[in-house]
A = this chain, B = another copy of it.
Amino acid sequence: MLASSHTCGFSFFSIPFYLHTSSTDIMTINSDKLVSTFLKLVQIDAVSLRERPVVDFLRERMDELGLFWIEDDGAVPYGGDAGNLIVQTHPGHEPVLFFCAHTDTVRPTRDLVPRIEDGVIRSSGDTILGADNRAGCAILLTVLEQIAAHPQQYPPAEFIFTFAEELGLYGAAALKPEHLRAREGYVLDSSRPPGQYVAQTPSFAALDIEMIGKPAHAGVEPELGINALNMAVDFLRDFPTGRINDNTVANIGVISGGEASNVVPGTISMKGEIRSFDMQELKQRVRAAADRAAEVAQRHGGSMRFKDKIEFEGFTIDPEEPVCTRLHAAMRALNLEPEPQVYSGGSDANIFNARGRRAINIGIGAKKPHSNEEHIAIADMEIITRLVLELLAGRY
C-alpha cells in the first residue's frame, strides 16, 4: 500500500494552541525510550527504495499515538516500496514549522548488533550503524510522542520522513506541494555536532562526458583510428579543476576507456562535477565545458556525448532570517553555541530551499556516516530532541 492516508481518532481540532508554558515537563525527555527507539530503528534493514519496514514501523507508532499521517506514492516511478511519510500534528491547522529526516540508510544494516560504550552507540559488526539517518527518525519520533502527550503546548507542525535521500534526494524531490505546507523548517541530517548547522551550500552540476573516436590496431594501422584518449587529454588540459575561485570547485573524478594496449582507444568516459555558490557562474562553466568538448571532438574528427545535470541548487541562509534567528535562540536556550557552516554536500534542505521553503540542515552528531565506524553519542541525540522541542515550544 503505497499511497494511503490515515486519520486517527485523536483530534486537536478544537484545542486552543499557543498555550505556551515554561513548565519543564514538556522539555523533559525520556532518554531510555529515545535510545530504545533508536536501537529498534537501526536494527531494521532498509536501504534506499526498500524503506517499507521502517515506514511501517513509523506508521504503527503514529497509530499508537493517535497522530494523523499520510504516505504518498512518490516512490512509484523509482520502483521503491515505500513513499514519503508525512505527519500532521494538528490536522486542519496550518503547520508553522516542518521537520525532516530520511528513512533509508546508504548501506544495509542486516545482522547489525549495536553496542553502547561510554554513552556512545556503535555498530559491532561489519555494517554501518545507520545513525544516518535513523537518529533523525528516532529524534522526530520522540518529539512526536512528546507532542501527543502535551498537544496544547505545541503549535501545529508537520513531520516529513523522506525515502531514498541517499540516492539523490529522491523523496524530497517527489514531495507534492500540499505535503509541504509550512514555510520554514529543519532537516535533521548533518553529521556535524549539535550547535553547527549548514548555512550555505553550493549548487552542484554533475558531468558525464564521453569522447568517441574510432578504434584501430595500434601496431598495424594506427592511422585508421581516431584516438579518443588524445581527445580526452585535449579536453582535460583546458578544463580547470580543484578550487577555481572562492565560489567554485571542479573535478573530473573518474576516467576509463580503451580495450587493450594494442588498440587505439575508441571511447573514453569521464565523470565529474562543478560546484559553485554562484549559480550563474556554474551554468556558464558547464556550458563552456560542453563547448570545449564539442570543439575538441570536431577538431579530431570524432564525436562526443556531454551530459550535465544540476543535481541540486545551492542556497545561503541569512542570519537575520527567522528560520535562522529562531534556531540561534533555541540553541542558546540549550547552551549550544550556534555555528553556521559552509558545506558542499547536499541534503533534503537543498530541495526545500529551491522550492522557496527555508530549510536548515542541523548537525545531529552522527559521526563518520557511511562507514562501519559510524557512531553517535546518546547525549547528542538527547540535546537535538530537546532542540526540536525548544524550536516548537519556544515561540521565537
> How far in angstroms is the closest Cβ of chain B from A109?
22
Most chain-B CB neighbours within 10 Å: which of A242, A251, A264?
A251
Q: Is A223 an interface residue (CB 8 A)?
A: yes
Residues of B within 8 A of A254 (CB): 257-261, 265
A253 touches B249 (CB 8 A): no
B265 near A261: Cβ-Cβ < 8 Å: no
Q: Are A253 and B242 in contact (CB under 8 A)?
A: no
Cα–Cα, bound, A256→B263 (Å):
15
Complex interface: chain B residues within 8 A of A256 (CB): 255-257
By the criterion CB–CB under 8 Å, are B258 and A229 in contact? no
> Is A223 touching B243 in the complex (CB atoms < 8 A)?
yes
Contacts A256-B256, A265-B253, A344-B219 given: A233-B236 contact, CB under 8 Å?
A: yes
Q: Are A345 and B219 in contact (CB under 8 A)?
A: yes
Closest beta carbon of chain B to A17's beta carbon, Å: 42
- Interface presence of A262 (CB below 8 A): yes
CB contact list, A264-303 vs B, under 8 A: 264-265, 268, 271-273, 275
Q: Is the interface of A mostly helix, strand, loop or mixed?
A: mixed
A interface, CB within 8 angstroms of B:
202, 204, 206-207, 217-220, 222-223, 225, 227, 229-230, 232-233, 236-237, 241-243, 249-265, 268, 271-273, 275, 343-345
Instruction: Tell me the minimal C-beta distance from A96 to chain B in angstroms.
Output: 33
Of B237, B250, B258, which one neighbours A253 at CB under 8 angstroms? B258
The one of B207, B219, B241 that contacts A273, using a Cβ cutoff of 8 Å: B219
Taking a contact as CB atoms under 8 Å apart, the answer to whether A255 and B258 are in contact is: yes
Expressed in whole angstroms, the minimum distance between the Cβ of A154 and any Cβ of chain B is 37
| A261 in contact with B271 (CB, 8 Å) | yes
**Chain A to chain B: the 7 pairs with minimum beta-carbon distance, closest first:** A218-B251, A219-B344, A254-B258, A253-B261, A261-B271, A256-B256, A222-B242
